[in-house]
Amino acid sequence: MKQVNINCKTVPAIGQGTWHIGDDPKLHDREVEALRTGIENGMTLIDTAEMYGYGKSELVVGDTIKPYDRETLFIVSKVLPQNAGKRDMRRSCEESMKRLGTDYLDLYLYHWRGSIPLSETVNCLQELKDAGLIREWGVSNFDTSDMHELSRLKHSGNCAVVQDLYHVGSRGVEYSLLPYLRKNNIAFMAYCPLAMNGTLRKGIWSNAVLQKIAAAHYATVQQIMLAWAIRDGNTIAIPKSSTKEHTLENAAAANIELTNDELQMIENEFPAPDREMPLDVE
């Protein structure tokens, strides 16, 4: 599995997302099997959130990781905006850890911006790190202007990761955000790299160019999308899978090397933005 650095710690370039995991109790065993299949095939980074199923996703992840050496895993969760202040953040973090069955999180993300001052949220995240409850912290659904605001705050240099939506049909982060993150050694995590949800999915999976490239690699369009998302060596993609078969497909995408000609074909079909774009979130 290809690796990406987060503050000198290496993590797999393809991890596992869990949005909607845990929503249906009847699927519990199948979802655990899918996540464990990912772990066994190098996808040891698992991303979840207290919002997902109101904690049910974290419970499934907790059941998944019980047999494994905790130090071999990289577990990510997120705090809701309304809980991201001095009154509730520690409680939220501890409740997430309890559901996950762990005494620390490798990464804790501020899920999206709310009404609590950013300075208060950052201070609380840093307090959790200083207390040893989390090893790194970061932000989600932040654009370049948000990051510039963050950069003016105390402890901003400890922001390790930014997580945003990113796939071939949604490349807004490339214009200014990704260059900013590279310059400041902040890792980027792409959620929904397969355009699984929302209107942005329309037409991508059936795109003739992507299908042609997929056929050349004896792969699926979804695998080509994942290989494209991690092409720069600095991006972590976190596709969601609830079946063993789909998980194996995701893991295999890490072995696909797109040629320069193929990358140009994708560029022509899905061009990078030439101006600042608002973030897509679905």
DSSP assignment of 227-256 equals HHHTTTSSEEE--B-SSHHHHHHHHHGGG-
Q: What letter does residue 189 receive in the DSSP assignment?
A: E
Q: Packing angle between helix 221-229 and helix 208-216, nearest 10 degrees?
A: 90
The verdict on residue 280 lying in a domain is: no
The verdict on residue 117 lying in a domain is: yes
The verdict on residue 276 lying in a domain is: no
| Domain, as residue range, for 123 | 3-269
- Give, in degrees to the nearest 5, the angle at Cα 196 between 195 and 201: 50
The verdict on residue 49 lying in a domain is: yes
Phi then psi dihedrals of residue 98, to 5 deg: -65, -45
The verdict on residue 279 lying in a domain is: no
CA distance 236 to 258: 17
Secondary structure class of 126 (helix, strand, coil): helix
Secondary structure class of 25 (helix, strand, coil): helix
Q: How far is CA 218 from CA 4, 58, 69, 214, 222, in A?
A: 26, 35, 35, 6, 12
Measuring CA to CA, which residue among 108, 81, 106, 82 is closest to residue 93? 108
**Tens digit of each residue's pLDDT, the chain (282 residues):** 899 999 889 999 999 999 999 999 999 999 999 999 999 999 999 999 999 999 999 999 999 999 999 999 999 999 999 999 999 999 999 999 999 999 999 999 999 999 999 999 999 999 999 999 999 999 999 999 999 999 999 999 999 999 999 999 999 999 999 999 999 999 999 999 999 765 555 689 999 999 999 999 999 999 999 999 999 999 999 999 999 999 999 999 999 999 999 999 999 999 999 999 888 876
The verdict on residue 32 lying in a domain is: yes
Contact 263, 168 (CB under 8 A): no
Q: Domain total for the chain?
A: 1
The verdict on residue 256 lying in a domain is: yes
Q: How much is the pTM?
A: 0.96
CATH number, domain containing residue 38: 3.20.20.100
The verdict on residue 54 lying in a domain is: yes
The DSSP element (H or E) to which 77 belongs, if any, is strand 74-79
